[in-house]
Amino acid sequence: MFKLILSGLVAALLVTMLFTGTVAAHSIEDVEAMVAELAESDYYSPELCMSYLDYKQQRVEVITYTVSKGDTLIGISEKFGVSLATISESNKIENPNLIRVGQQLQFPAVTGLLYTVAQGDELTALAKKYEVDYEVIWFANSLDSKELAPGTRLVIPGAKMPDPLLQARSVSRGGTKVNCGFVWPMLGKLSSNYGMRKGSFHWGIDITGRVGAPIYAVAPGVVTSSGWGGSYGYMVHLQHKSGISTLYAHATKLNVAKGDEVSQGDIIAYVGSTGNSTGPHLHFEVKVHGRHVNPLSHLP
Ligand SMILES: [Zn+2]
């Protein structure tokens, strides 16, 4: 125990020296060497103890958040001032539009990744993988040793992560919010609204994305058709409860067949540009009892 405190004290001293510029070399190896050296001695001082506490206070906290009704991932990320990827990657959320009331999310208090150490993981390798300095991880987690125990949760501030949500951030919204439990059918930028467009009525919304990006079922339902739809290209039609049906057009590939039952968030097709389309996008329509409605009024 004393040894542990001592190693922390040494780390703290080094951190202090680092920030005051009194030490040039500050690798973890140096810290560990000093820890080993001092663990053998009886050296101890109140100053070091205070430094140790300072060091511990540099730790980046992990936030635990329970999703409540009306929450969106974007909203939560804005509330805590972290990136969307921070939350989605830390919780391995594949579809950022698919979060459930009561779901517990854990993520760092700064933009970055909450990473669970696997067998064989090394600090330097992790730092390299996520393109951060290993000292950053060292300080953020108040580590006392370079050895990482499997299962340890590490905060990796500024971790370079794929950001599938970069586009979702710019999705514009309109209409009245009606909570009927839909999730967004895909990630992307809203490129065309429901309503009059170049002299004709556009019965859905368009969301642009890359070819092959997944298209999700917005709600649980049954596939009433899946196939070629002329100007709609490859398309899927879903029937949901309460007389609601949804249509997903211009897909490059379909992932479901007529009669299939789907859950919310299931991948039903992949984005394409088939049929009457000028570029890869999803054309998405919603009908209530056979009448078109503005899809945006049903999306979270
Ligand atoms: Zn369209």
Assign residue 145 the CATH number of its domain. Answer: 3.10.350.10
Residues of the chain with pLDDT under 50: 1-4, 6, 10, 14-26, 38, 41-53, 164-180
Same domain, yes or no, for 117 and 195?
no
**How far is the C-alpha of 90 from the C-alpha of 71, rounded, in Å?**
18
Helix, strand, coil proportions of the chain in percent (round to 5)? Answer: 25, 25, 45
278 assigned to some structural domain? yes
Same domain, yes or no, for 175 and 292?
yes
Same domain, yes or no, for 224 and 113?
no
Q: Could you tell me the distance, in angstroms and rounded to a whole number, from the CA of residue 77 to the centre of ligand 1?
A: 30
Same domain, yes or no, for 146 and 194?
no
The answer to whether the CB of 272 falls within 8 A of the CB of 250 is: yes
**How far is the C-alpha of 209 from the C-alpha of 248, rounded, in Å?**
14
Q: Could you tell me the distance, in angstroms and rounded to a whole number, from the CA of residue 285 to the centre of ligand 1?
A: 8
Of 121, 192, 199, the closest CA to residue 154 belongs to 121
Q: Could you tell me the distance, in angstroms and rounded to a whole number, from the CA of residue 203 to the centre of ligand 1?
A: 7
Q: Could you tell me the distance, in angstroms and rounded to a whole number, from the CA of residue 233 to the centre of ligand 1?
A: 11
Q: Could you tell me the distance, in angstroms and rounded to a whole number, from the CA of residue 283 to the centre of ligand 1?
A: 4
Q: What is the sign of the dihedral through the CA atoms of 171, 192, 215 and 299?
A: positive
Q: Could you tell me the distance, in angstroms and rounded to a whole number, from the CA of residue 258 to the centre of ligand 1?
A: 23
Same domain, yes or no, for 220 and 146?
no
Helix (H) or strand (E) holding 103: none
Could you tell me the CA-to-CA distances from 71 to 172, 188, 232 in Å, in that order?
17, 19, 33
Q: Report which DSSP code applies to 101.
A: T
Q: Could you tell me the distance, in angstroms and rounded to a whole number, from the CA of residue 50 to the centre of ligand 1?
A: 63
163 assigned to some structural domain? no
Q: How many domains does the chain have?
A: 3
Same domain, yes or no, for 69 and 140?
yes
Start-to-end Cα distance in the chain: 51
Percent of the chain with pLDDT over 70: 73
Q: Could you tell me the distance, in angstroms and rounded to a whole number, from the CA of residue 288 to the centre of ligand 1?
A: 18
Could you tell me the CA-to-CA distances from 258 to 217, 240, 262 in Å, in that order?
14, 14, 11
Same domain, yes or no, for 50 and 86?
no
State pLDDT tens for residues 56-96. Answer: 556 788 999 999 887 888 788 888 888 888 998 899 887 76
State pLDDT tens for residues 153-197. Answer: 999 988 887 654 443 333 333 333 333 467 889 888 888 889 888
Q: Report which DSSP code applies to 280.
A: S
Domain of 195 in residue numbering reads as 168-297
